[in-house]
Amino acid sequence: MKLRECADDSRVERKPGRPCAYTAKVGAAVCELIADGASRREAARVLNIPRRTLEAWLERKPEFKARYEVAAQARLYLMEERLLELSEEAARVAQEAQDASLARVRLEAIKMEMDAVKWQLCKLLPRKYGDKSQMEISGKDGASLLPRHTREEDVAFAAMIAEVQEKLRRKEEERRACAV
């Protein structure tokens, strides 16, 4: 390790390589931008930090990662609030519309923004906002794929099972008798 001289004439060991640009102040600024709705890319651009550096801090700095997760949760609440605001705005535009074509254009723009926010929420929280797909498999016209059994078939099957169990019991008795 190399020694570095400090302002008070003491010497401190330092690791070789480029010094880390992370400080608590920079971390707080990133988290503030994220909580205000910015993406990682936007926050990195605004603060003039390479995006990969920001991602490395998330991996290597547990205190930053914890603050970032809180900020990311705040961003999700902000997005949910934005959806509510947009729905209220759409209702207001529809009620106050004097020019139908202008109102239709404005409502389309609101719908597009709502769809974009919903898409982001779907990607960020798939369990809560994702599309739930469920597949049901059935035969023609919704019929069951499993064949229906008649009472006689069920009785015959039960008798066959009882017969097999009886044969297994006899074989076990024979085995025990031979072992003695």
Output the pLDDT for position 151: 85
pLDDT tens, position by position, 121-152:
888 888 787 777 777 777 788 778 777 778 88
What's the pLDDT at 13?
A: 61
Give DSSP secondary structure letters for the chain. -EEEE-TTS-EEEE-SSPPP---HHHHHHHHHHHHTT--HHHHHHHTT--HHHHHHHHHH-HHHHHHHHHHHHHHHHHHHHHHHHHHHHHHHHHHH-SSHHHHHHHHHHHHHHHHHHHHHHHHH-HHHHSPP-------GGG--SSPP--HHHHHHHHHHHHHHHHHHHHHHHHHHHHH-
Q: Using one digit for the tens of pLDDT, what is the confidence trace for 59-98? A: 999 999 999 999 999 999 999 999 999 999 988 888 887 8
- pLDDT tens across 5-27, in order? 444 454 556 667 676 778 889 99
pLDDT at res. 106: 86
What pLDDT score was predicted for residue 5?
47
